[in-house]
Copies of this chain bind each other. A is one copy, B any other.
Amino acid sequence: MERGAYLLTTNTFEQKLAEFKEYLKTMKGYEEAIGLMYWDMRTGAPKKGIATRSEAVGVLSGEHFKMSVSDKMGEMLEYFSAEAAFSRLDRVDRKIVTETKKEYDRSKKIPPQKYKEYVVLTSKAESVWEEAKEASDYAKFQPYLEQIVAANLEFIELWGYEGHKYNTLLDMYEPGMTVDKLDQVFGALREKVVPLLAAIQASPYKPNTQFLKQTFEKEKQKQFSLFILKQMGYDFEAGRLDETVHPFATGLNPGDVRITTRYLLDDVNSALFGTIHEGGHALYEQNISADLIGTPLCTGTSMGIHESQSRFWENMIGRSRPFWNHYYGDLQRQYPGQFDQVSVEDFYRASNEVKPSLIRIEADELTYNLHIMVRYEIEKALFSESVRVADLPELWNEKYREYLGVTPSNDGEGVLQDVHWAGGAFGYFPSYALGNMYAAQITRTLRKELPAYDELIGSGNLIPVKEWLSDKIYQYGKLLTPTEIMTEVTGEELNPDYLVHYFREKFSDIYKL
């Protein structure tokens, strides 16, 4: 197509709109194919096919990217963003145009050659990171990380920024989030969590957790995970559960939202809570309104809101007393003889043990946020250029001592533990802690609007909870921003006090503070 050809057509507004939507649907078709190809590579694609497969993924990703920045896309967006056409769009279509334009503008600002080099760099960095982590050899990874940070600083200049440079990165994962807001909420949270943690550590009432570490047959774990997913309202006609080393959820379309889990034979809780977590992500994606299928709005609105749902189901539901009051009998029957001597109260307390540790992904509900704050402080410092990449290991260890009171014995269990930076995903980590705060705040409203909340959970009736969340959050996909969701559902913007309140109540009880 010639540049300008689209704008010159004599098609009506309606014809142009239909053409625009068809174009977006084609892009979604690519996304579904790419999503399936990744799912397949992680769940069981034969390894000798991976090289050719990766090229095929590259082909489709390339075609998808070309469509996203094509002249035609530019002209369609020019037409629909202009007042004359925009004013004739309904609410959903307006949001589709603004979201698509945001992506388009972001992509267009990076010169294609630079972007290509960056993709190659991060792809290489991810494999170097794997070796560096294995060998606890930060020096090996450092030059890659330096280049990745430098590239991101360059991108930020091209994209533009307001206030802190890091804001531009935060906005990619949590639209509207800024350093100012995060400093405030993380500060407030840390101020309350640190003394609470100290009190917990000083408590003589430590839960016994030994019985969690027996041997549990994989097939039985799987059956129990499937049973709980069913209870949550996960729709097995619109999803499936598979096994992977690193669990994940992937929404190909609302009728096909897959989750994976990992079974540890010596731990009764790992696969279970992992499955509930991914199940929470999946409930979100399964319940997006069918009206949004084939549009860019057919996905969760942000990483933080998405994580609020996985954490809500994992922690606020799965690690709650009413939940175990109801389901503990099922668990006991699932593993005959293995929990005969364990009371439901002991099991509940063990499943909520708080213990500062080195590894984020193994952290408990309370200390998890401190792991995130360490990463947040480091990312902020990197993008205000107040710390050098070379100094990260030292800074990391110092922050861990300060926030968690533990010190890594090597960089493999320290600064090299997460893959995120190797992939250039700066600004992503805060989503995890935001998810916890959102989840507590949403839970408070949920309790008000479903007054029998504890009784519902305590009688194994989780469906009304899923339906309330679908009604208030899930159905909207990306139609509402995170701030709109929070304001419309809870009546106020993000407020860390609800998480603090939830922690205090829960852990004062468990640790008899």
- Identify the A interface with B (CB < 8 A): 25-26, 28-30, 32-34, 36-37, 40, 44-53, 55-56, 58-60, 63, 235-240, 252-258, 293-294
Most buried by B among A47, A56, A252: A56
Check A238–B46 contact: CB distance below 8 A.
yes
Contacts of A256 in B (CB 8 A): 45-46, 48-49, 52-53
Given known A46-B238, A46-B255, A238-B46, contact A52–B40 (CB-CB < 8 A): no
Check B240–A44 contact: CB distance below 8 A.
yes
Q: How many copies does the complex hold?
A: 2
Cα A254 to Cα B254 with chains together (Å): 33
Most buried by B among A53, A58, A240: A53
Most buried by B among A25, A26, A47, A52: A52
| Residue of B whose beta carbon sits closest to that of A251 | B49
Contacts of A238 in B (CB 8 A): 46, 48-49
Contacts of A257 in B (CB 8 A): 46
- Of the A-B pairs whose beta carbons lie under 8 Å apart in the complex, a sample of 20, sorted by A's number, is A25-B55, A26-B59, A26-B63, A32-B52, A32-B53, A33-B37, A36-B36, A45-B256, A46-B257, A46-B258, A47-B237, A48-B235, A49-B238, A49-B253, A49-B255, A49-B256, A52-B252, A52-B254, A52-B293, A53-B255
Instruction: Knowing that A52-B254, A55-B294 touch, tell me 11 more A-B residue pairs with CB under 8 angstroms.
Output: A29-B58, A29-B60, A30-B60, A33-B36, A36-B37, A49-B253, A49-B254, A51-B255, A52-B256, A53-B255, A56-B253
Check A253–B25 contact: CB distance below 8 A.
no
Main secondary structure of the interface of A (DSSP, over half): helix
Given known A25-B59, A37-B33, contact A53–B253 (CB-CB < 8 A): yes
Contacts of A237 in B (CB 8 A): 46-48
Partner of A56, one of B28, B53, B235, B258: B28
Name the distance in Å between A374's Cβ and chain B's nearest Cβ: 39
Given known A26-B59, A40-B40, contact A240–B46 (CB-CB < 8 A): yes
Name the distance in Å between A503's Cβ and chain B's nearest Cβ: 37
| Residue of B whose beta carbon sits closest to that of A40 | B36
| Residue of B whose beta carbon sits closest to that of A256 | B49
Partner of A32, one of B56, B236, B240: B56
Name the distance in Å between A210's Cβ and chain B's nearest Cβ: 34
| Residue of B whose beta carbon sits closest to that of A242 | B44
Contacts of A28 in B (CB 8 A): 56
Contacts of A56 in B (CB 8 A): 28-29, 32-33, 253
Contacts of A48 in B (CB 8 A): 235, 237-238, 254-256
Cα A243 to Cα B28 with chains together (Å): 29
| Residue of B whose beta carbon sits closest to that of A1 | B1
Name the distance in Å between A40's Cβ and chain B's nearest Cβ: 6
Partner of A29, one of B44, B59, B255: B59
Cα A254 to Cα B50 with chains together (Å): 11
| Residue of B whose beta carbon sits closest to that of A238 | B48
Check B252–A49 contact: CB distance below 8 A.
yes
Cα A56 to Cα B240 with chains together (Å): 19
Contacts of A63 in B (CB 8 A): 26, 63
| Residue of B whose beta carbon sits closest to that of A286 | B48
Contacts of A240 in B (CB 8 A): 44, 46
Contacts of A49 in B (CB 8 A): 238, 252-256
Contacts of A59 in B (CB 8 A): 25-26, 29-30
Cα A453 to Cα B109 with chains together (Å): 66
Name the distance in Å between A26's Cβ and chain B's nearest Cβ: 5
Name the distance in Å between A25's Cβ and chain B's nearest Cβ: 7
Contacts of A34 in B (CB 8 A): 33
Contacts of A26 in B (CB 8 A): 59, 63
Cα A29 to Cα B252 with chains together (Å): 19
Check A255–B293 contact: CB distance below 8 A.
no
Most buried by B among A34, A40, A59, A254: A59
The 9 closest A-B CB pairs, nearest first, are A49-B256, A29-B59, A48-B255, A49-B255, A52-B253, A48-B238, A29-B56, A32-B56, A33-B33
Check A53–B294 contact: CB distance below 8 A.
no
Given known A32-B52, A52-B253, A252-B53, contact A239–B60 (CB-CB < 8 A): no
Contacts of A46 in B (CB 8 A): 236-240, 255-258
| Residue of B whose beta carbon sits closest to that of A39 | B40
Most buried by B among A26, A46, A239: A46
Cα A239 to Cα B48 with chains together (Å): 8
| Residue of B whose beta carbon sits closest to that of A58 | B29
| Residue of B whose beta carbon sits closest to that of A29 | B59
Contacts of A50 in B (CB 8 A): 255
Cα A55 to Cα B430 with chains together (Å): 36
Cα A294 to Cα B53 with chains together (Å): 11
Cα A239 to Cα B58 with chains together (Å): 21
Most buried by B among A34, A37, A258: A37
